Amino acid sequence: MQVKREIPLYEQIYIKLRDSILHEEIKPGERLVDSRIAGQLKVSRGPVREAFRKLEQEGLITNSEGIIEVYVPSLQDVLELYQVRVGLEAVSVYWATHYMTKEQLDELYKSLLETEKAVKLKNLPEVIKLNTYFHESIVSYSKNKRLQLLMSNIRSLVFLYRNTIFNQYNRDHYFLSEHRGILDAIKEREPSLAAKRMELHIYNDMNHFKEYFLMHKEKEAELQNIKKHTE
C-alpha cells in the first residue's frame, strides 16, 4: 500500500497563483509581493517565493530587478506563440494520424457537428470550448508527453492574452471547413497532408487574430482622440 504524502505548500501556492492569473483574479501587469501574498494565505514567505520561481520559469510572471509582475504579453509575443503553435500542432496531428482509432476520429467528427450547431446559434462560449477540445484532443492523441506539456504552457499564455486585451475575438465560421479538412486527412491516414492543413489553419487563425487586434487598437486610439478633444 502506498501512503500519499500531502502536497507541499509551495506547490499548492503555485497552483493557486497560476489559476488566479489565468482566471484574471490577478491581472497582467499587477505586481506580486511575496510578503503580502504570504499574509493573505496565512503562510510564510518561503513557499511563496518558491512558487514564484516556478511561475517565473513558466513565463507567467516576470522578474525584473527583483520586481515581480504578472506577464503582459505584447502582440509580438502572441504572434510568436502562434508560430510556435504552428510547428507543434502540425507535429501533433502528424503523429495523431498514426495513432488515432476510428472511434476517436468519429468522436471528433461528432464534436464538429456540435460546433456547427453552436456557430449557428452564435453560442460563442460553446464554440470556444469545442474549438479548444478539437485542438487539445489532437495534441493528446499524438502520444507525445512533452508536446502536451509545451502546448499546455503555450495555451495558458495565449489564453491569458485573449482574455486580457479583449474578451474574445469573433472568428467567422470559416474554421469549420478547415477542421473538417484536417479530420478528413486523418481519416485517409495522410499525416503530411493533415500537418499541412493544420499549419494553414493556425496561420489563418493567427492572421485573423492580428487583424482583429489592430482593428481593436485603432478603435481604442479613436476613443482616446475623442476624449482628448472633449477635455
Partner DNA sequence: CTCGTTTAACTTGCATTCATTTTAAACCCT
Partner DNA sequence: AGGGTTTAAAATGAATGCAAGTTAAACGAG
**Those residues with Cβ within 8 angstroms of residue 69's Cβ, 6 or more apart along the chain or in another chain:** 29, 30, 31, 32, 61, 62
Neighbours of 202 (CB within 10 A): 21
* Interaction of residue 5 with DNA, rule CB under 7 A: yes
Which residue type sits at 157?
L
Interface with its own copies (CB under 8 A): 5, 8, 10, 46, 49-51, 53-54, 56-58, 65-66, 77, 80-81, 83-84, 86-92, 95, 142, 144-147, 150
Residues 66-105 that bind DNA (CB under 7 A): 66-68
68 binds, among its own copies, DNA, none (CB under 5 to 8 A by kind): DNA
Closer residue to its own copies in complex, CB, 108/151: 151
- The stretch among 59-67, 99-107, 112-120, 157-165 that binds DNA (CB under 7 A) is 59-67
Cα–Cα distance between 122 and 131 in angstroms, integer? 14
56 binds, among its own copies, DNA, none (CB under 5 to 8 A by kind): its own copies
90 binds, among its own copies, DNA, none (CB under 5 to 8 A by kind): its own copies
Phi, psi of 189 (to 5 degrees): 55, 50
Helix ranges, 166-190 (H)? 175-187
Three-class SS of residue 68?
A: strand
57 binds, among DNA, its own copies, none (CB under 5 to 8 A by kind): its own copies
Q: Work out how close the CB of 90 gets to its own copies at its nearest, in angstroms, rounded to a whole number.
A: 6
Q: CA nearest 82: which of 171, 204, 166, 172?
A: 204
Among 44, 57, 170, 224, binds DNA (CB under 7 A): 44
31 binds, among DNA, its own copies, none (CB under 5 to 8 A by kind): DNA
Residue with cell 482583429: 212
**End-to-end CA gap in the chain:** 72
Closer residue to DNA in complex, CB, 61/183: 61
| Contact in structure between 154 and 85 (CB atoms under 8 Å) | yes
- The site for DNA, by CB under 7 A, has a size of 23
| Contact in structure between 32 and 56 (CB atoms under 8 Å) | no
Interface residues with DNA (CB under 7 A) are 3, 5, 8-10, 31-36, 38, 42-47, 49, 63, 66-68
